Structure 1
């Protein structure tokens, strides 16, 4: 199954709850995160680490908050 999710905003716990409801499995499914992976939520780093662990099963399009983080870094 292919899932599209936008504006995670660093909310790793909410992302995890959503993916549990969807029964997402990186070995079986594809996840496309459509911008703003980081920002408002308390766990931006955890979001990035989780998505990186899933390798090719998780693909990301950068949003303005993500680009700002890269520019600052």
Structure 2
């Protein structure tokens, strides 16, 4: 079992997948920690989030992730 920690994905899904493939990551045997800023600048933040969920990654929220949540909740809950 290996434990991997990755920070600042920034919505770069393709690079995220390439990195996981390079280390031969397998969610059945390995553990993944994502350290902040899963979303923002890259072209595919949504798929980064979906893959993190599918892999059961442990996530520490970064400022971009918190901003996304704040935008969502202010739009949907403060009507």
Which residue of structure 1 lines up, in the alignment, with residue 15 of structure 2? 14
Q: TM-score, normalised by structure 2?
A: 0.88
TM-superposition CA deviations, 1:9-55 (whole Å, max 9, x none): 00000000001000000001000000000000000000001111122
Higher Rg of the two aligned structures: 2
**TM-score, reference length from structure 1:** 0.95
Q: Which residue of 1 aligns with 2:32?
A: 31
Q: Measure, in 2, the Cα distance between the counterparts of 1:6 and 1:49.
A: 16
Aligned length: 71
**Gaps in structure 1 of 5+ consecutive residues:** none
Q: Distance in 1 between matches of 2:33 and 2:60?
A: 8
Query: Who is 1:67 aligned against?
Result: 66
- List alignment gaps of at least 5 residues for structure 2: 73-79
Whole-Å Cα distance in 2 between the matches of residues 54 and 31 of structure 1? Answer: 8
Report the aligned-residue RMSD: 0.5
